[in-house]
Structures are given as structure tokens and as C-alpha cells.
Amino acid sequence: MKSVFIILSFVFLVCLGCKHSKKTKSADPFYSKGNLFDRLNIPLIKPYKLIKVNDTEWRLELQTTSLLTLSIDNVQGVDTVARKIMIYFKGGTEVNNIQYNELWFIIDPASLSERSFNSYDGFNNALKKINIDKVNFRKPDMLLQ
């Protein structure tokens, strides 16, 4: 009787251990991997993530060259709605060879579409076309809390 109990306990523990290991293998490393080069990062929707480049600046690396820039620097606000990423930028950058002080972005990770808008009205009209009524921009530092 004692040996049956020990064998059943062993089988139960082995099954429990196998089930746990399957769960950890299915986690996407994009969302669970540590920070790159000791820089704090916030995964948004794969493959996009915010990277803290210094005490006050957050950057979003772009995946295409359609805007003729490699990243969105000085990210001031971010939101994700309906599998889209919305970014508010302020602080001076060049997009499509034109210097801007303030821009809004809509990024569709599924199609790698990256669009910029130099007016809030243009941004808002584009949101309505993709059935997004409201964006709640949050500062990247607030996402860490």
C-alpha cells in the first residue's frame, strides 16, 4: 500500500511538472525578454517597443523606411487600441525630409503601416476611418507603474 502511494505521488508530480514547463515555453520572448543593452523598454505590439534612451527621452524604433526616418524620438504619449499603436511626439524631428516640432502617428503592426500626421485634426480623421473613437495618450513612464 505504501509503495502504491509513493508511485502515484511520483506520477502526479511528474505530470504537474510537465504541465508547468509547457506554459513557460509558449511565452513569446518579445514580451518576456529582458532589456536590450541595459536600456529599459516597454513592449507594445510585436515588433514595436518603446526604449528609454536617457532619463527624459523615450524612442520607438520603426520597422520600415516609409517615413524616411529610423525612429520616433521624444515620444510624449502612447496608446494601443484595436491592435494599432498611436504615438504623440513633441520636440523636433525630421520626417519625410521635413522638420516638425509636433506629430501624431498611427502604426499598424500587422501590415507594418507607419503613418504620420502634422495636425491633430488629420490624426483624428484617420482614427475615425479605422473606427477608433478615442485615444488616451499616456506618458511612457506611466506605463511602468
What is the spatial distance between Cα 125 and Cα 131, in angstroms, rounded to a whole number?
Answer: 10
Where in the chain are the domains?
A: 31-143
Q: Is the pTM of this model over 0.85?
A: no
Distances (CA, A) of 47 to 38, 55, 62, 93, 111: 19, 24, 9, 22, 11
Question: One digit per residue, pLDDT tens: the chain, 145 residues?
Answer: 666 556 555 555 566 565 544 455 567 776 766 655 557 889 999 999 999 999 899 999 999 988 988 999 999 999 999 999 999 999 888 888 899 999 999 999 999 999 999 999 999 999 999 999 999 999 999 987 7
